[in-house]
């Protein structure tokens, strides 16, 4: 397709791209009742609505707005997506094919969500509509796209609306691309410099966000916007350039902030006078690979944290896909180079994402591979089975132990990994977040013959586990659970306010003869309030930690704590007995 830069003025006058109508994508209406869509047990984690679809969503009780979805034939649950705000008058059906984004979506296996508007400039609810589109993606009503690797892209007047919304909610997207359009208003910038963010002691204007703008000319307003983002991103004043960007501002090496949770990686980029139309497959794939692909936005304390994206394939993880009890299951295994070279048997950590999550982002969210590199162990990331299909939305998001016997699956997984890799069978540990945490603690009472200890976040042991056919008290299994002080998803961390927390603490203390809550050893380390429950032999068979201000999140610092302060201290001998702090490979200091 010919570049549209030379026709930009004409296309703006016409209010739409001059596209070949015959190439328009045919969008189908998502049916009201989609509960009868069958889930293929050979492809249980595929998105169920593939191709081009549209849905009318409620802007308010009296107003609906159309949103357009495109999922390539290879689209699976919890993968990358792009939210594209189209220029005034541009139709999604024309734009998707002719811009080059459809081919990129097919080539890179990325899904696209689009929003039209006849006239963004005259629409008083423009920013609200961008916000609604973002909220629609997050509800996962029709598709399970990943929140962690969702990008925002805007064109023309749509880029202006996107810029305004992004400035008010800068932690919503992994990265932002804007083609043309005007700068966010000075009023918005000023307001965000005064408004407190969800992150403690930070204004909204201090939350970093990678932003790349393509503009016809660099106006004072656009220069002011770029300066705003350079400040938020801790970028230097020195500008670099490459084939596509005239100004690349990189983060300063001097950074007064948390590196483990929120990395200092956000760039600010400007391109002046070229590629403002934002079309062409080669161009789009180049900027996708060098800018959009590298970032992830993960749940943290307060605002969502920005990090480089740890993609399982790019990180060199081994992928497996096998049928287990009539259902195709899949997982990744990461083996550090040091482990490959040593030839020694090492521990295994199995990390399970929560409801609707997957191995695509859980490695990046938890940073278990980085910790494995530092501590010399192997880690695995299995995908849960699927949930229940419902009438008004896609319900086949990954859910542990709902439509499959996931205890048997994890048993299969552990035995398979032990056959293929050098695993110390006495040091197999399970972790997880949210529903993955619930699965982890379930394994402490259903798979303790293989699992040495569990440590997980944001999910408790429920009374229903006692009815599990695999439930057994033959083997002991130490358990560590971390909760967030402000976790509205699973509820209170207090026994007096949460039946699940009360049951969990009472179950483990009674089963293992542990001390009471009043007698538990306690200490504070930064935001972590720790309760350690010992048995009569001074072995901590249960530990419960609460993190200040944390919501429903999983922090890399928690992963490190789980390994260093819990997993590494337990092993199971050949007779099945648990040993605590009895390692034999320490350096002899005598």
What average pLDDT does the segment 528-549 reach? 96
Residues 222 and 82 in one domain: yes
pLDDT at 23: 61
Checking phi first, is residue 156 left (phi over 0); if not, alpha (psi -120 to 50) or beta? left
pLDDT at 5: 32
39 within a domain of the structure (yes/no) = no
Mapping DSSP to helix (H, G, I), strand (E, B) and coil, where does residue 90 land? Answer: coil
Instruction: State pLDDT tens for residues 447-459.
Output: 999 999 999 999 9
Residues 216 and 346 in one domain: no
587 within a domain of the structure (yes/no) = no
Residues 512 and 388 in one domain: yes
13 has a pLDDT exceeding 50: no
pLDDT at 413: 98
How many independent structural domains does the chain possess?
2
524 within a domain of the structure (yes/no) = yes
Residues 406 and 512 in one domain: yes
Q: Which of 262, 283, 308 is the last residue of a domain?
A: 308
141 within a domain of the structure (yes/no) = yes
Residues 85 and 199 in one domain: yes
How far is residue 582 CA from its own chain's centroid?
Answer: 37
Range of the domain at 74: 5-30+46-308
59 within a domain of the structure (yes/no) = yes
DSSP, residue by residue, 170-207: TTS-S-EEEES-PPPPHHHHHHHHHSB-SSTT-BGGGS
Residues 223 and 348 in one domain: no
Residues 396 and 295 in one domain: no
pLDDT at 141: 80
Residues 264 and 374 in one domain: no
Q: Which of 260, 287, 308 is the last residue of a domain?
A: 308
Residues 18 and 149 in one domain: yes
User: Which domain CATH number covers 220?
Assistant: 3.40.50.1820
478 within a domain of the structure (yes/no) = yes
SS (H, E, C) 66-80: EEEEEECCCCECCEE
Instruction: State pLDDT tens for residues 95-123.
Output: 999 999 999 999 999 999 999 999 999 99
Residues 299 and 433 in one domain: no
pLDDT at 18: 37
Cβ proximity of 508 and 465 under 8 Å: no
Q: Which band of pLDDT confidence, cut at 50, 70 and 90, is reported for residue 3?
A: very low
166 within a domain of the structure (yes/no) = yes
């Amino acid at each position: 397709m010919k570049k549209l830069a030379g026709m930009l003025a004409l296309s703006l006058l016409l209010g739409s791209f001059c596209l070949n109508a015959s190439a328009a994508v045919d969008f189908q209406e998502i049916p009201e009742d989609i509960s009868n869509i069958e889930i293929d047990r050979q492809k249980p984690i595929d998105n169920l609505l593939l191709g081009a679809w549209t849905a009318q969503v409620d802007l308010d009780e009296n107003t609906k707005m159309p949103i357009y979805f495109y999922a390539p034939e290879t689209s699976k649950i919890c993968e990358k997506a792009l939210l594209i705000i189209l220029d005034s008058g541009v139709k999604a059906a024309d734009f998707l094919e002719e811009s080059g984004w459809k081919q990129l979506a097919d080539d890179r296996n990325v899904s696209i969500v689009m929003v039209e508007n006849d006239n963004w400039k005259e629409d008083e609810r423009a920013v609200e509509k961008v916000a609604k589109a973002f909220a629609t993606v997050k509800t996962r009503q029709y598709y399970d796209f990943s929140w962690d690797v969702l990008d925002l892209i805007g064109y023309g007047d749509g880029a202006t609306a996107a810029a305004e919304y992004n400035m008010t909610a800068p932690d919503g997207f992994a990265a932002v691309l804007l083609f043309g359009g005007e700068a966010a208003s000075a009023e918005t910038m000023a307001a965000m410099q005064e408004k407190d963010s969800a992150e403690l002691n930070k204004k909204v204007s201090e939350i970093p966000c990678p932003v790349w703008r393509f503009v016809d000319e660099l106006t004072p307003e656009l220069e002011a916007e770029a300066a705003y983002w350079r400040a938020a991103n801790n970028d230097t004043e020195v500008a670099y350039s490459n084939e596509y960007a005239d100004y690349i501002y990189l983060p300063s090496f001097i950074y007064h902030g948390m590196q483990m949770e929120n990395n200092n990686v956000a760039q600010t980029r400007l391109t002046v006078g070229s590629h403002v139309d934002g079309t062409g497959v080669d161009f789009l794939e180049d900027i996708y690979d060098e800018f959009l692909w590298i970032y992830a936005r993960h749940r943290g304390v307060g605002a969502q944290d920005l990090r480089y994206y740890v993609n399982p394939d790019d990180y060199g993880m081994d992928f497996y896909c096998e049928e287990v009890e009539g259902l195709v299951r899949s997982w990744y295994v990461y083996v550090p180079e040091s482990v490959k070279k040593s030839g020694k048997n090492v521990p295994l950590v199995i990390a399970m994402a929560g409801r609707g999550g997957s191995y695509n982002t859980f490695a990046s969210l938890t940073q278990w591979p980085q910790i494995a590199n530092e501590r010399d162990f192997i880690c695995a990331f299995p995908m849960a089975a699927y949930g229940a299909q419902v009438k008004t939305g896609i319900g086949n998001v990954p859910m542990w132990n709902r439509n499959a016997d996931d205890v048997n699956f994890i048993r299969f997984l552990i035995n398979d990994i032990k056959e293929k890799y050098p695993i110390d069978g006495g040091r197999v540990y399970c972790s997880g977040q949210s529903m993955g945490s619930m699965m982890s603690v379930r394994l402490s009472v259903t798979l303790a013959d293989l699992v040495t200890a569990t440590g997980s976040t944001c999910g408790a042991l429920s009374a229903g586990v006692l009815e599990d056919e695999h439930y057994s008290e033959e083997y002991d299994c130490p358990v560590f659970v971390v909760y967030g002080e402000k976790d509205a998803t699973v509820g209170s961390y207090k026994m007096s306010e949460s039946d699940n927390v009360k049951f969990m603490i009472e179950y483990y203390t009674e089963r293992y003869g542990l001390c009471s809550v009043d007698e538990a050893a306690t200490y504070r380390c930064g935001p972590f309030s720790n309760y350690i429950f010992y048995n009569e032999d001074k072995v901590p068979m249960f530990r419960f930690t609460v993190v200040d201000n944390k919501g429903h999140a999983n922090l890399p610092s928690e992963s490190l704590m789980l390994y260093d302060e819990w997993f590494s201290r337990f092993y199971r001998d050949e007779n099945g007995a648990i040993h605590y702090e009895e390692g034999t490979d320490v350096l002899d200091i005598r």
